A and B are shown apart, each in its own frame.
Chain A
Amino acid sequence: MPGWKRPEDNKLLGKRHTRLDGPIKVTGKAKYAYDINLPGLLYGRIFRSQIAHGRIKSIDASGAEKMPGVKAVIVNAKVGDVMRYQGQEIGGLAAVSSDVAEDAIRAIKITYEALPHVVHEVEAARPGSPKALETDPNVQQMEKTGKGDLDAGFKQAAATAEGVYSCAVRAHACLETHGVTCNWDDDKHLTCWASTQHVGGVHGDLVNHFKLPKENILVVTDVMGGGFGSKFGMGYEGRMCAELARKAMKPVKLLLTREEEHLGVGNAPSAIGKVKIGATADGTICAFEAHVYRSGGVGQENGPMPYIYKVPVFSVVQEAVKMNTGPSRAWRAPNHPQSSWIMEAAVEDLAVKLGMDPLEFRLKNDPNPIRRQEWKEGAKLIGWERRNAKPGVGTLAGTGRYKRGIGCGAATWGGGGVPGAECRVTVKPDAAVSATCGVQDLGTGSRTLVGLIVAEELGLPRKAVTVSIGHSDMPPGIFSGGSVTSPSIAPPVKRAAEAAKAAIVEVVATKWGIQPDDVDMADGKAFQKSDVNRSLSFTEACALLPAAGISVLGKWDAKLQQNSGVAGCQFAEVEVDTLTGRVQPIKVVSIQDGGVILNKLTYESQLNGGIIQGIGMALYEDRHMCQVTGRMVNANLEDYKLPGAMEMPEFVPVAFEYPEATGVAGSAEPAVIPTAAAIRNAVLNATGAYLYEAPMTPWRVLTALKSAKGGTQV
């Protein structure tokens, strides 16, 4: 079976293509789960624990049940159940409007026997602090690894750097909150419009929960408003909505409120890394020691450490810290940005100590041949030679209030696909071409990719292919997590398109009485290779098909994806206001390979998005917990600060293409990994101030400036 053509041989693939669903999204016609309106629709809400830790003493939902306009109330939690974080689900209700549902939530009276809580990582790790979970200690070792003799390793060091580098818990903050709209035709047939990253996952969960035949439940995700790793299964909200809808026998829409979105459906764990790293005089890392704490609230996740660079001798201990906050969930490149923050900061500080150019230092210790090219390319694009030779000292930094500097960081990701997805391509005698695959489009552009691949194979303009995605009764898609979507769906789509092409070629060859391998298709035509003057238009060729047309199914082929790893790096230029401590990113270069790139326009958008979310991690995003009440202080979008228009730098997104690429690789995750560290290192280069904590708020920057030698005194 053929592989991907080289970029220069493609008509469509690898070029810049706007999205097929762009027009419906920009005109408000796209219907998200939140937008489904049905006759008699009810509005669902979940009621949740208002305290961080405590035993339920009583639940009185009668106030809600009696309220006019309330059509169903379901209580799941029982008296005596222990609530382990603010926002843990207790029950749900459905009412005739969202306002009435809100009234009903307020009418539910729940009392608790408060238990001592702990909502801060450092507090939780302190001996004698309250236990977040009754069953487990707050600190649990997840990993203990090492290689070589650490003492001997550090003995070779000409310089060492040490620090405690930490970054905060961040919210996914999906703009379309988690949730679904459910409609039961009867008590055995359910349609569920879901805001999800995995149509098949939601479908499977609902089938299992309601114990119904697969074909009785239809899950629909035509479009969805952001997930970033937090929206895989039906979730409590999906299950509750379906149950409320069945109880009321009316359609119910249950999308979380903004506050619930912050509390109950995931976050990116924080990380605190105590690190020591050493290098020999020529700039080779010789030893590395890290003790890392990661807090996923009542959940837990581990991450890679050491990260990216070749470390011959190391010792790593990683521990999970439990606390009374909502469980973490996968967050775009789970735990890599945190590891990058810790590792890249330590590497930068070591390079400074050695008096070595940090880029030269990285090139010396980075084993990845592709990234080594990217480092050099990126350095040109940012103008690395402009950087201050010493932190805080140079032309770029200047001597005034505003100081500029440049920093960098690296990314890595697997990038491969997984088996399971299928795609059906049909061609009718009237030349109508359609491609169908149950995959969802998170905004990454997967719908558009499906159409592009089919159009490329059949030699058609891209809009000639009707694409249908996102329904559970279609050929199975794949989950959109770990950047697997493109490498998982591109192979079956291509194989289906090839089979469709072969079928058309066959009927044309038969008509002409020649061998099929003498027929090809391009530019909207089928033609004879040995006599290019002999051709049929695509429409004429399709007219030769049997009356029913053709319908072919394409399956996974590992050869069309690439799991050799994605490499990337980023360079950031920032300006630090030394009077206020505000950091403004000026320009960010993100350069990253992605195997065979299918759509450069949407690929670049992924790189931009990664940078912006990385800026959030670097400068703004921080979940604040009140230690006294155990509640989240900023469960909203005004105090939980997302990067906005005014914070945007100049963007230089670069798709790094190389001739050895043979398969499609995912690109979304690595794009977010190194931005925060690159900005941190740029702040150091600008001011000489060492920042250890993300986000680098003005207060933290001013504190670091104060302690930096040569920094502005405040």
Chain B
Amino acid sequence: MSDEHKDSVTKPLPEVSRRGFIKGVGTGVAATATLMTGVPESGAEAAVQTQVMPATGKRLKGVVRVKLSVNSEDRSADVEPRTTLLNTLRDHLDLTGAKKICDRGSCGGCTVMVDGRNVYSCMMLAVDAQGKKITTVEGLGTPERMHPVQAAFVEHDALMCGFCTPGFVVTCATLLQHNPNPTFDEVKRACAGNLCRCGTYPRVFEAALAAAKSMKGGA
């Protein structure tokens, strides 16, 4: 092996932090948002501002209090500005239905509904989720009163280990909200952003179609 190569592996590798990247993007988005909480960098350390402040475009620092509307409840959490919506839900609000699987927007395990759309909650910062209506899998139904999609998942055995299941449930529930009469191919396409390892796909498709049917029947 050449010395040049040896160097290339012994030198610390340049690291681009995804969090840093999102943080930059997130701040940019926040700058144009109408609602935002937090302290500008100049606001020194971890002062927590409970007043909703207009966007300043300045970089957030320390700990900020985010106010989130989750499952029709007002919740708040003190997080770092870089904290994802996923980590906020899981680590601060004990809503662990959304799963951390890839943590970079490739598996769909953390899918939640944000203003009626599917969002990978690992790819959205909590500060950017403020002012939006967030629905997690826990908000769709409970074991005693399941959402039709959840009931159909159980009925059709559309789950095995169950770790990807909440993501698929939210994906399918969102699909049916926008398209109450999906074709088989539309269901497949809707699920294309979610990964399962045990192999539940065929029964997820069945369950989504059955739920569509039962929702029409029940409406």
Contact = CB atoms under 8 A, between A and B. Distances in A.
Contacts of A18: 154-155, 157
A97 B157 contact: no
Nearest to A226: B161
B25 interface: no
B46 to A, nearest CB: 11
Contacts of A29: 97, 138, 142-143
Given A26-B159, A175-B164, A443-B161, A258 B191 contact: no
B216 interface: no
B21 to A, nearest CB: 13
Contacts of A130: 1
B121 interface: no
A605 interface: yes
Contacts of B197: 173-175, 226, 228, 613, 642
A31 B95 CA distance: 10
Interface string B132-147: 0000111011111010
A648 interface: yes
B56 interface: no
Contacts of A116: 1
B82 A30 contact: no
A645 B9 contact: no
A255 B169 CA distance: 24
Contacts of B91: 37, 41, 43, 97-98
B137 A605 contact: no
Given A28-B138, A651-B202, A176 B143 contact: no
Contacts of A52: 9
A643 B99 CA distance: 19
Interface stretch (A105-113, A157-165, A549-557): A105-113
A605 B203 contact: yes
A225 B157 contact: no
Instruction: Please classify how large the interface on chain B is, using the bins under 10, 10 to 19, 20 to 34, 35 or more.
Output: 35 or more
Interface in B175-197: 188-189, 191-192, 194-197
Nearest to B82: A99
A23 interface: yes
A24 B106 contact: no
A34 B198 CA distance: 18
30 contacts: A21-B162, A23-B144, A23-B150, A24-B143, A26-B150, A26-B153, A26-B166, A28-B96, A28-B166, A32-B96, A43-B91, A99-B19, A111-B10, A112-B9, A114-B5, A114-B10, A175-B164, A224-B161, A605-B199, A608-B203, A609-B200, A610-B199, A628-B5, A629-B8, A644-B191, A644-B192, A644-B194, A645-B201, A646-B188, A646-B192
B195 A644 contact: yes
Interface string A1-35: 00000000000000000110111111111111011
A657 B192 CA distance: 35
A24 B107 CA distance: 21
Interface of B: 1, 5-6, 8-10, 12-13, 15, 17, 19, 80, 82-83, 87, 90-91, 94-104, 106-107, 109, 136-138, 140-144, 146, 150, 153-155, 157, 159-166, 169, 188-189, 191-192, 194-205
Interface in A13-68: 18-19, 21-32, 34-35, 37, 41, 43, 50-52, 54
Given A21-B162, A27-B143, A98-B91, A50 B13 contact: yes
B162 A443 contact: yes
Contacts of A37: 90-91, 94, 96
A602 interface: yes
Contacts of A102: 17, 19
Given A31-B96, A99-B83, A226-B197, A258 B101 contact: yes
A114 B107 contact: no
B160 A99 contact: no
Interface stretch (A301-309, A415-423, A630-638, A685-693): A630-638
B9 A630 contact: yes
B161 A223 contact: yes
A444 B159 CA distance: 10
B165 A26 contact: yes
Question: Which of B144, B163, B169 counts the most chain A CB atoms within 10 A?
Answer: B163
Nearest to A651: B202
Nearest to B169: A26
B80 A175 contact: no
Question: Which of B9, B80, B154 counts the most chain A CB atoms within 10 A?
Answer: B9
Contact of A612 (B80, B98, B162, B199): B199
Interface of A: 18-19, 21-32, 34-35, 37, 41, 43, 50-52, 54, 97-99, 102, 106, 109, 111-114, 116, 130, 173-177, 223-226, 228, 255, 257-258, 442-445, 601-602, 604-605, 608-613, 628-630, 636-638, 642-646, 648, 651
A283 to B, nearest CB: 35
**Top 10 A-B pairs, shortest CB-CB distance:** A28-B97, A609-B199, A443-B161, A225-B163, A25-B162, A612-B199, A443-B160, A22-B154, A35-B96, A23-B143
A410 to B, nearest CB: 20
A602 B136 contact: no
Contacts of A19: 154, 157, 159
B160 A444 contact: yes
A643 to B, nearest CB: 8
Contacts of B196: 175, 612
B107 A175 contact: yes
A628 B8 CA distance: 9
Contacts of A31: 96
Contacts of A629: 8-9
Given A601-B157, A608-B202, A629-B9, A28 B136 contact: yes
A97 B83 CA distance: 9
B160 A609 contact: yes
Contacts of B204: 645
Contacts of A112: 9-10
A608 B200 contact: yes
A175 B154 CA distance: 20
Given A609-B200, A645-B188, 16 more contacts: A24-B143, A25-B159, A26-B146, A27-B143, A28-B96, A28-B138, A51-B10, A130-B1, A175-B101, A175-B161, A223-B162, A258-B101, A445-B160, A605-B160, A605-B199, A608-B203
Contact of B87 (A97, A444, A601): A97
Contact of B9 (A23, A54, A97): A54
Contacts of A111: 10
A244 to B, nearest CB: 17
Contacts of B138: 27-29
